[in-house]
């Protein structure tokens, strides 16, 4: 199978084994292209035996996601703007017709207006604040609620966050506030759903060059800074985020819920 990235052909063979995710099915929100962290999570889960369903935000992304979904033999790919409850409802109604149960959700979705990811946080508009919080934080609760009837034997919900939730990172601004709400949502959802054996966790990834990341002013400088300062003296690789998603979605993490795990080459431990 061949995926196309801006005219460059990307050849990649994926092999599936009956591994840690054998017999498990789940839905992935947030694949935009082959650089997406959601795609790296998908590959890690697929290679260990998982079956995957996907949604994509809008028509423009369809030609990107279809070849990727085919590569992991996905039986379910639907368009869904997670900002719209009726579209989320429709996706879960269709998913119930494809599978009678699911075991995991990967949520890797965030959005803020470009003008809110440069300059000063104090200039954030009411509408920009509401949009960033809605898409980047509330959608985790929106999809988790609809997944509950399908998580019959329990399950896992894994989302993607960033250090800008904990400390001030230049230009991250309203997205930092949204990620703080997301990380708090992870704890509240974990508390609500623990008795159903549903575990909810977040991966706090170091900076990775993706479509969403390139919308943050000064992102390239961030990569250089982290590389020079992080204990491992490098930036994290997207595949390392994928491996942590595998840990969180599989039985390896059976005792872990409500947690935010940093996958950032150690950057977040530094005081100075």
Ligand X SMILES: NC(=O)c1ccc[n+]([C@@H]2O[C@H](COP(=O)([O-])OP(=O)(O)OC[C@H]3O[C@@H](n4cnc5c(N)ncnc54)[C@H](O)[C@@H]3O)[C@@H](O)[C@H]2O)c1
Residues carrying an active site annotation: 162, 172
CA separation (Å) from 28 to 8, 32, 69, 74, 226? 25, 11, 11, 11, 28
For residue 179, the Cα-to-chain-centroid distance in whole angstroms is 12
Considering beta carbons, is residue 79 or 154 the nearer one to ligand X? 79
Considering beta carbons, is residue 190 or 203 the nearer one to ligand X? 203
- Please report whether residue 110 would count as binding ligand X according to CB under 6 A: yes
Chain positions 112 to 141 lying near ligand X, rule: CB under 6 A, are: 135
CB of 247 to ligand X, least distance (A): 17
CB of 164 to ligand X, least distance (A): 8
Is there a contact between 269 and 235 (Cβ–Cβ < 8 Å)? no
Considering beta carbons, is residue 142 or 187 the nearer one to ligand X? 142
Considering beta carbons, is residue 86 or 195 the nearer one to ligand X? 86
Closest CA to 47 of 80, 24, 81: 24
Helix (H) or strand (E) holding 79: strand 76-79
- Please report whether residue 91 would count as binding ligand X according to CB under 6 A: no
To 10 degrees, what angle do helices 139-147 and 173-193 make? 20
Q: Give the residue, chosen from 108, 117, 186, 230, that forms a contact with ligand X under the rule CB under 6 A.
A: 108
CA separation (Å) from 132 to 58, 66, 162, 168? 18, 27, 14, 17
State the number of binding residues for ligand X (CB under 6 A).
Answer: 26
Helix (H) or strand (E) holding 203: strand 198-205
CB of 26 to ligand X, least distance (A): 16
CB of 18 to ligand X, least distance (A): 28
Q: In sequence order, what are the residues at sequence separation of 6 or more whose Cβ sits closer than 8 angstroms to the Cβ of residue 184?
A: none
CB of 180 to ligand X, least distance (A): 12
Tokens of 89: 């409802």
Considering beta carbons, is residue 154 or 217 the nearer one to ligand X? 217
Q: Give the residue, chosen from 111, 121, 138, 225, that forms a contact with ligand X under the rule CB under 6 A.
A: 111
Stretch that binds ligand X, among 68-76, 79-87, 89-97, 191-199 (CB under 6 A): 79-87
Considering beta carbons, is residue 57 or 250 the nearer one to ligand X? 57
DSSP 235: P
Closest CA to 245 of 261, 230, 269, 227: 261
Helix (H) or strand (E) holding 245: helix 238-249
- Please report whether residue 83 would count as binding ligand X according to CB under 6 A: yes
Chain positions 183 to 242 lying near ligand X, rule: CB under 6 A, are: 205, 207-208, 210-213
Stretch that binds ligand X, among 31-39, 70-78, 190-198, 224-232 (CB under 6 A): 31-39
Vertex 27: Cα angle to 25 and 28 (nearest 5): 130
CB of 36 to ligand X, least distance (A): 3
Tokens of 174: 């309203």
Q: Which residues are near ligand X by CB under 6 A?
A: 30-32, 36-38, 57, 61, 81-83, 108-111, 135, 160-162, 205, 207-208, 210-213
């Amino acid at each position: 199978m061949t995926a196309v990235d801006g005219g460059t052909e990307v050849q990649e063979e994926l092999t599936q084994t009956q591994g840690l995710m054998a017999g498990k099915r789940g839905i992935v929100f947030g694949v935009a292209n082959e650089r997406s962290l959601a795609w790296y999570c998908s590959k890690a889960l697929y290679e260990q035996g998982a079956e995957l369903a996907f949604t994509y935000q809008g028509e423009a992304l369809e030609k990107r996601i279809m070849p990727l979904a085919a590569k992991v033999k996905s039986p379910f790919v639907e368009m869904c703007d997670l900002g719209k409850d009726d579209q989320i409802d429709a996706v879960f109604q269709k998913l119930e017709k494809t599978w009678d149960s699911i075991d995991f959700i990967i949520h890797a979705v965030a959005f803020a207006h470009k003008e809110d990811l440069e300059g000063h946080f104090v200039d954030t508009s009411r509408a920009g604040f509401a949009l960033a919080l809605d898409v980047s934080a509330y959608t985790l609760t929106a999809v988790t609620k609809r997944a509950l009837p399908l998580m019959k034997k329990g399950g896992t919900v894994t989302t993607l966050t960033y250090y800008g939730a904990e400390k001030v990172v230049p230009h991250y601004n309203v997205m930092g506030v949204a990620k703080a709400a997301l990380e708090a949502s992870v704890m509240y959802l974990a508390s609500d759903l623990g008795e159903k054996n549903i575990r909810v966790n977040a991966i706090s990834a170091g900076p990775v060059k993706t479509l969403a990341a390139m919308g943050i002013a000064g992102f390239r400088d961030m990569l250089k800074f982290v590389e020079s300062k992080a204990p491992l003296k490098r930036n994290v690789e997207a595949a390392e985020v994928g491996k942590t998603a595998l840990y969180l979605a599989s039985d390896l993490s059976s005792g872990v819920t409500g947690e935010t795990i940093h996958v950032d080459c150690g950057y977040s431990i530094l005081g100075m």
